[in-house]
Structure 1
């Protein structure tokens, strides 16, 4: 129960982190707004406004980097000079690490929700069911936080862990074809169909909008499976590291 008393402190640290707020909220807000004006009135081959796809992909893509926020608070408390002070505090350190992770993940989800509300109410982006959209965004945020924690627990050099998190996020964004179209090859098709969290999340939202619930849930179940597997890996590695 003593760990619960640290939650307001963690929340305050997050709210004071203006750089994270800038990168995870202000930057995507600006980009989505700019793209809304650039692609105004233009549609895809299926008649869907381009800004709909762009806003959804961009909102989900920035969830990749929400996990970096969790890394940034776990590392100084458990792997730096502050570690000795944390060790003498009268609470379970594993639960404290868990509370930091949950606060950071919730922070990322809330920022994603703000992007959903802004893009639909101000720019007219169609997200379909907000509840479903937030559910999918939450899965992306949870998975990204877990992956980033695996990096910080597995690699001694924090800078390398940061670079790995960037490779993870940017790599899947590139594979999704956001920067340039990917070659029509079986490998890229397989990765984007069954592995890439960004494509799986975006298609889960699009399938739900089209009323194709079975395909939407298929993608979501893949994400949930990835969360379960990576969480077990993270828990086994992290429990040894933070004792």
Structure 2
């Protein structure tokens, strides 16, 4: 079983700045992931050809189930607003996270968190440091029926504001502990290296640098398993961060053993 997380940068290549559907499908298809968490996902945005990127990825992966959870209506870095409820934003450009899986889904769960009330400097490759307004965040979880029974998998993208992302991670893990174990959190946590494990008490399934994609120096993209009830998860046999030609992040792919 392969679990993966990938910050898509809405499908854009850092080499030419273009969003090409065929590139994205080739990139995610090559991961051969059974469960894939997505961040920086567009739906109906002009910049990405008004595509539903989660659906595009699901088709490339041969997924049996997928869902997009918008964090905002509008475009981060430009104009956007928070969602008032799950149905808000239908028919409008949205941005958030996605989850696709080859396993049947028993139930979906969503929780939302406010963005930081301050602007924070963020390094953008090719541009340098800019001060950005933070946006609301969302966690999308699915209880799936895998080869060894039920498993909760979740996708999220935490704030880039130091300290605020720590607060969000603690809220996310508390939310996930209401769902069946084993519990796995996949996503761009905007926290480096071993810090997410120290903050949450959850165990990392793979330590590899993922950012920036050209010469990765820091791990921002993580796969964490809840230490409570993690015994139902098979051991990790391989971890990789392949070059895929899309995004300023590399995907993190974790392969689990065939048996318990």
TM-score by length of 1: 0.25
Whichever structure has more helix as a proportion of its residues is: 1
Which fold has the larger relative contact order, with Cα–Cα distance below 8 Å and residues 6 or more apart in sequence? 1
Structure with larger Rg: 1
Instruction: Give the number of the structure whose residues are more often strand, by fraction.
Output: 2
TM-score w.r.t. length of structure 2: 0.24
